[in-house]
Amino acid sequence: MNNNVLIIGFFLNDRNHWTSGDCGLPAIPESTKLSLFKSRYAEQSVISYECEETKDQLIEGKHRQCLNHRWNGSLPRCAKEVEAVLLKRIEITEMGGRQPLYREMKWSAVEPRRMARIVNNNAKYDTTDCPKTRFLWSVNQSQSWTFHVLRGYYFNYFSLRLRSAGGSLRQLYDQNRLQLSATMEDIISSKRCLLERFRAHDTDPLAEVISFVCDKSERQMIGAQEGVDESIEKIVVRAVVAVDDHAVNITTTFCDLRLYVLSESCGSPEKPLNSDHLVREKTYTVFTCREGFHLVGHQRVRCSPDGQWLDPFPRCLPNKTCPIPAIDRPDPNLFVQYKHFYDVNGSQYGVPDDLAIYSCVNTTTNATTKQVIGPISRVCRDGKWTGSQPGEMSNSQNDHRAKYMNAMSGLEVVEHDGVIQKVCWLEWMLAIKTVRVRPSDVFVCGYPKSGITWLQEIVCRIVSDGVVGRDGHRIVDDVMATKNNHLSSFETLDNPRIVSTHFEAKYLPSFATIDCKVIYIVRNPKDVCVSYYHFHKMLKEYGSGVDWDDFCHLFLSGQLLTGDWLSHVNDYWLTYGTRNHPNVLFIAYEELCADLTAMVGTIGRFLGKQLTAETVANIAVKCTADAMRDSFINPPEFRSNSQFIREAKVGDWKRHMTEHMSALFDKRYGDGLRAIGLPVCDHMEGAIEYMSKTGRIIQRN
């Protein structure tokens, strides 16, 4: 993949839309069960496995996580305990020596389960001493421990319970001062066993359990060899102690040996999302996809004789995917991010409505050195990326940004997730995603200077039947949430709570699954830039600032406070607008200017208010720019001669922008907006024409 391509997953939970992050039902190995069983799991879901029988051992991992349509983490297995293991004798031999240092010949044929004491009719291990302890090892020399097992057993997994004083074997192992290995041996063959894990004992707090998994290709039979009346098989554990200057004063006693067998069955296979049905046989499973999707990966996934899946599970992709990277021609300065994508065994695919977002970076320093010219985003439609790849304009000195950051130094700003934000916003930004949302809540959202204050006034009037405006309603916005301690008192506010924010959708609760109301207002970027420029000049703490031309270039490159305008709009529109979500309303600033009364009625109906024509007309009168300008009180951070509500009209950009700058805006935003199907008007005549023909500029709501 091109080094300039960054895959960033941002996933939706709407079941009716393609979502790249969700996972289907994971594979369930034989004799295991899931902590949470369902047919679909959301991105980042974590599942836990456990054995159906508490006496059995779970090996090779317990937790798995759904990431990018894939279950990450090894698939666990349950080892079933052999019921009656009979030990003939134990021998301890110094490594390299011939004569045993210790031999226990009197080990009686005792089942491990009978090594427990009966306490209140419950079998529990003695926590004061190891039952049937037979040898003591001072960890100062390498040794081999040989366990002679009598009679016939199948097993391919075993564990030792040991008690240590003065330290632990696990600690020595982690310090690379102890190596442990094992073999299973009979009169015919020898098979290697690998250390699987250390763990604490469930009921014996003084003991640690060391487990080994043996050759998985076939089960090993212990004892009962043909023609041998009383064959004795061996499990040999080799403990190699590193020779160093550190004294080792740990003493270890043996408690018991447990043998287990791993199932020959693979259990239930994974059920990928959008798969149709599975054809299951003992040694393989065949996968197919439902209509509209095609299979990527192995159609036939094999199951080995020792109960393990040999092939990765396939995925079902939409029939019309787009190639990744979305690069038509090589460009070392172009950097691409993706909102949705599908990863199958290391190969990425763009899915329907996937968004490719372009920016310019220095691939060595990761610093922005150029500016994108043309659309910054493309959409995956019918297997192709819409539009064309953008170019870039040199900005090697980055003078505009340096001037801007210097001017903003008095405002306490910080860069968060690559976007300049006010420090006072961050606490609310990090907390708002997890707030408990009520059905009566109304979220008013938009990029700065898009008319969000105007929209606040309209919403406040509507929910109060025209009586109370924004000055009489306790609105929670990005600044007030932290300054007035609204963050801690948010739960105590009366209904309906009105939350106003400039944050992108990714920082907010997922409204796709929440029954509240969200209104997003969008304004043409040329007028937004003009209004934002004057807004900066109103701030007391804003220094000498940058001139108009530099400010426009900063706006075009998304380097102003709150980040890139088009990314902000895309985040909401592609998350909710293209889905026609019933609880999310998109309105255009230009619609309010063209027919305020009609839009008050539209917003009122969306909020579920039955307003009379007289009330609607009254609200419209009180929400005109002149009425709001007369009653508006400037915030204390504004200069005394500032006028927060300035022109409040469409097309003010014509008095500020040159033809060349206007063309740059058209190139930067026009193609991108057309690609996602969002109409935006930058002149009043167009807005009126839209409204007269269809009643709305934004038709999808």
Number of H helices, E strands in the chain: 16, 43
Q: What are phi and psi of 31, to 5 degrees?
A: 70, 15
Nearest-angstrom CA–CA distance, 423 and 383:
42
The DSSP code sequence of 641-678 is T--SS---STTGGGGT--HHHHHHHIIIIIHHHHHHT-
Q: Distance between alpha carbon 249 and the CA centroid of its chain, in Å?
A: 47
Q: What is the DSSP letter of 201?
A: -
Longest CA–CA separation in the chain, Å: 107
- Quote the tokens at residue 111: 């089942």
The residue from 298, 340, 486, 502 that is catalytic is: 502
What order of strands is seen across the sheet that includes strand 342-344? 322-323, 347-350, 342-344
Residue 340, CA atoms < 13 Å, CB-side half-sphere: 27
C-alpha distances (whole Å) from 486 to each of 110, 280, 413, 476 are 68, 57, 21, 7
Nearest-angstrom CA–CA distance, 497 and 291:
44
Sign of CA dihedral 635, 637, 642, 645: negative
Nearest-angstrom CA–CA distance, 300 and 105:
53
C-alpha distances (whole Å) from 301 to each of 70, 270, 283, 305 are 16, 10, 9, 13
Return the SS3 of 569. Answer: helix
Q: Tell me whether residue 400 is one of the annotated catalytic residues.
A: no
Q: 401: closest CA among 287, 284, 560?
A: 560
C-alpha distances (whole Å) from 217 to each of 224, 304, 308, 501 are 21, 8, 10, 60
What are residue 102's DSSP bridge partners?
92
C-alpha distances (whole Å) from 65 to each of 48, 114, 298, 308, 644 are 9, 39, 22, 20, 49
Asked if 518 and 441 touch (Cβ cutoff 8 Å), the reply is no
- Quote the tokens at residue 584: 């999310």
- Quote the tokens at residue 98: 């011939």
What are residue 268's DSSP bridge partners?
28
Residue 294, CA atoms < 13 Å, CB-side half-sphere: 6
- Which of the residues are catalytic? 502
